[in-house]
Structure 1
Amino acid sequence: MYEVVSGLLEVFSAMFQGYCLQYFFGSFLEGRIRNRRISVLAVTALYGALRLGAGFFLPKGYTSFWVFVRLAVILCIISVTALAFYRALGKMALFLIVTFMAVGEMSFFLAHMLFELGNHLFRLWDWCLGNGYISSLEFYNCIASITLMGNQILFYAIGAAVLYFTLRRVVQDYREKEYAVHRTELLFILTPGLAGLMVCTLLRITIDTAENGAPETLYDRYPSLMVIMPVILLLLLFSVMFGLKLFQDMICWNREKSSRIILEKQVSSLQEHMGEMERVYSGIRGMRHDMKNTISLIMHPIMNGRPPSLRMCWPG
């Protein structure tokens, strides 16, 4: 029964990751298949099948060599899926691949640590059996089986939830999807994901140890890591999300700064134009004043040389 449930959960996990992949990539890149539903099904099925196949053929050990082989295989699977179903691959595709891998690994280890905490329930059942609180061995086996399957279901559910909601937050925060990312900016948004990916790789290499020939996990040797590692992984997840939000805010600030500079230049040009017009108007007023004086000088002898009757009719 446990093997059946575990197999079904692995299939669910692979397919759900495929769904998250198409949601994440489809939010940034143009798909090759115009029909949305067909694209979702195709990406989910291809990625899920490749992940299940890789999990079947790759060994389950966490030695350094096989950990890096596993990372390379996952990178190839994501790249092949992206090339097959999406256009405009480039810097943005690199960011999407690294971020998806990093969030997937961090989600796995966060769920795995809760799974390790759930395993302590077996010690409780052992204590109850030893002290007579559980009198029947059959009842003990039933409780142990339920606990094991419950932990397994909770493990996959938490991993899927963390993966989906983190990717969803990234998609929502990355507002300027048409913005052409430069190399320095790409390094800025890639760094948190790469850091998280390397921390998870280190965990995969060191999580299983042996003491006097007996296998044990890193958490058994250092129980404080059960608190420290989730905090580190959560901080890395937050750095991925808030780093992107900061990057988007910087784009908006730079755009506003450019608009403000353009507006200031326009205002400065308008002020210069107004000053020039003021100088022109001042010149015109001066010319009017000079013309009035000239006309007065011309009219003065004429008025003085006229007969009195004509001077009475002439104003001034």
Structure 2
Amino acid sequence: MRDIVYNVFDIISYFVQGMLLVNLLKETQPRFPFKKYHSAAILLGQYVAVQIFLHYSVFIKSLLYGKSMVMNNSRQSILPVLISMLVTCVAGIFLFNESRLKIIYYVVTFYSVMELLKFAIYPLFLWLLTKLVDLNQYLFLDRQMYGETMFFEVNSGIEMFWNLSYVLVLLVFTYRIIVWMKKYLEMKENYENSQLIFVLFPSVTGLLLCLMIRSMMFSMEDNDIHSLFDSRPEMNLMVPCTSLLCIVMIIFTAKMLHKLIVESNQKIEISIYQERIREMEQHIGDIENLYAGIRGMKHDMKNYIADMEALMQEETGNPTAFRQYLDSLQASVEQLDMKYNTGNPVTDVIMQRYVQLAKNYDIAFQADFLFPSSMNMDAFDLSIIINNALNNALEACRRQKEGRKFIELSAYRRQNMFFIIVKNSFDGKLVRSRSDGRLLTTKPDSKNHGLGLRNIEVCAEKYYGKTEVTVREDEFELAVMLQERIE
């Protein structure tokens, strides 16, 4: 009966541990086309099954502990921990559509926290167990309050209470640490590999520390148990303190990374606001130039009329001169017209500006864009996307040494989605980040440049969208997908 109770309790404990692991990976997107909780259920089942197999399989016990199938030293407990962690990492990478390093970080951190907490609270619970057993012996031997049968039953109850309370405290503290970690690190955040390595380092350090403690925690010789905590009493303080310090470092590095990401996002937001201000200034400047041209035309209109009257009143008449004069007048008026009428003055000005810039650099420019006035989209958000995309395209064409230079802008709507496509020629040279494959700037001042594409991504995320880059030989294509916001 006692063995059955312990077996049931162990299975429940494995199930709760698996639930904590699933909670840590809750925001992860499944790799396969089924619901998210199906992947979580498979991961949970895998964790429980592996734990039961490692601790109850006769084959594994004989393989790890020999014919006796009994653990003779704590070193033998290292391999089950490593096997379980490795299988969980493989299962997580297989089930979830996230970077491998991110899955490895969360799994290793989970096992590291579990192991560190075990050794952080173990000496305290060992002291508590010793005191309870001593109290039972005192009541039985010195006070003789009950008989031998009752003495063994009380000892069995103390053992069961100790195991239950130890595991409960372990699970509660693990849950609290997971909550703290999820407060600072979000699974949906796109971390660079260097950032993940930074937060993975203390987790690996803590796990290695626990494995080292396991290797020398106890050994059995001639039925005598030699414990590290008995032979070296100072370890009762050093091991918990070191374990707690590692846990603090795990949480602290997660908090530091969160702070760095927040500061980076704030920098991007500031850049976007600066971009908006710059767009407004350029828009105002273009409008002022347009009005200045109109005022100039109005001022000169009387002279134009007088000149035409003079030409018409000439007795000889000169139709050719009169036609040339009208053509020059028509050309002056056309300079004030917007070549592209997008349906919004902000995007009109942007188109006009890049038409002129493309003409100055001998770049073929073509646009098929209409502002989605029926969709709930901010004109200045779209201006940031279009301006940054066209600016990047213009820079790429300017760096091009040979071949046809072109920029093509198109946009279309599909139900509640709005797509912006920018294609341009380029020299075929791209620089990508080694950590996450993100495109990097080729400009010398990389600290102050390279935010253009990131600004586009931030604006796209504001509308629950995303960006995609496609490269075909000497053609670069940027696709921005935006979703209509319902407020």
User: Into which bin does the TM-score normalised by the smaller protein fall?
Assistant: 0.7 to 0.9
Matches within 5 A, 1:156-305: 156-175=167-186, 177-209=187-219, 214-261=224-271, 263=273
1:17 matches 2:17: yes
Residue deviations 1:236-258 (CA, integer Å, cap 9, x gap): 22221232122111101122123
Name the CA distance, whole Å, in 2 between partners of 1:51 and 1:160. Answer: 16
Where does residue 309 of structure 2 map in the other structure? Answer: none
Cα distance, 1:276–1:21 mapped onto 2, change above 3 Å: closer
**Displacement after TM superposition at 1:146 (Å):** 1.1
**Displacement after TM superposition at 1:274 (Å):** 9.1
TM-score (norm 1): 0.75
Alignment-mate amino acid for residue 14 of structure 1: Y
Where does residue 137 of structure 1 map in the other structure? Answer: 148
Residues paired across the two proteins, number: 286
Where does residue 312 of structure 1 map in the other structure? Answer: none
2:226 is paired with a residue whose SS is: strand
Query: Which of the pair has more CA radius of gyration?
Result: 1
Name the CA distance, whole Å, in 2 between partners of 1:36 and 1:28. Answer: 8
Residue deviations 1:124-163 (CA, integer Å, cap 9, x gap): 2223333225342222222211111100111221222222
Q: Can you give the 5+ residue segments of structure 2 that lack an aligned partner in the other structure?
A: 66-70, 289-487
**Displacement after TM superposition at 1:204 (Å):** 0.5
Match for residue 127 of structure 2 among 117, 128, 142: 117
What's the RMSD between the two structures over aligned residues?
3.6
Residue deviations 1:73-113 (CA, integer Å, cap 9, x gap): 12222024314432234221121121122112123333433
Matches within 5 A, 1:51-130: 51-56=51-56, 57=60, 58-59=64-65, 60-62=71-73, 64=75, 66-120=76-130, 121-130=132-141
TM-score (norm 2): 0.51
Alignment-mate amino acid for residue 21 of structure 2: L
**Displacement after TM superposition at 1:68 (Å):** 4.6
**Displacement after TM superposition at 1:40 (Å):** 4.2
Cα distance, 1:118–1:5 mapped onto 2, change above 3 Å: farther
Name the CA distance, whole Å, in 2 between partners of 1:68 and 1:77. Answer: 15
1:28 is paired with a residue whose SS is: coil
Residue deviations 1:162-187 (CA, integer Å, cap 9, x gap): 22222232223214x33332232122
Q: Can you give the 5+ residue segments of structure 1 that lack an aligned partner in the other structure?
A: 279-316
Name the CA distance, whole Å, in 1 between partners of 2:40 and 2:163. Answer: 27
Name the CA distance, whole Å, in 2 between partners of 1:94 and 1:122. Answer: 42
Q: Decide which moves more: 206-215 or 222-231.
A: 206-215
Tell me which protein shows more strand as a share of its residues.
Answer: 2
Cα distance, 1:249–1:62 mapped onto 2, change above 3 Å: farther
- Contact between 2:30 and 2:36, CA under 8 Å: does it hold in 1? no
Cα distance, 1:30–1:224 mapped onto 2, change above 3 Å: same
Alignment-mate amino acid for residue 82 of structure 2: A
Q: Decide which moves more: 91-100 or 31-40.
A: 31-40
Name the CA distance, whole Å, in 1 between partners of 2:176 and 2:31. Answer: 22
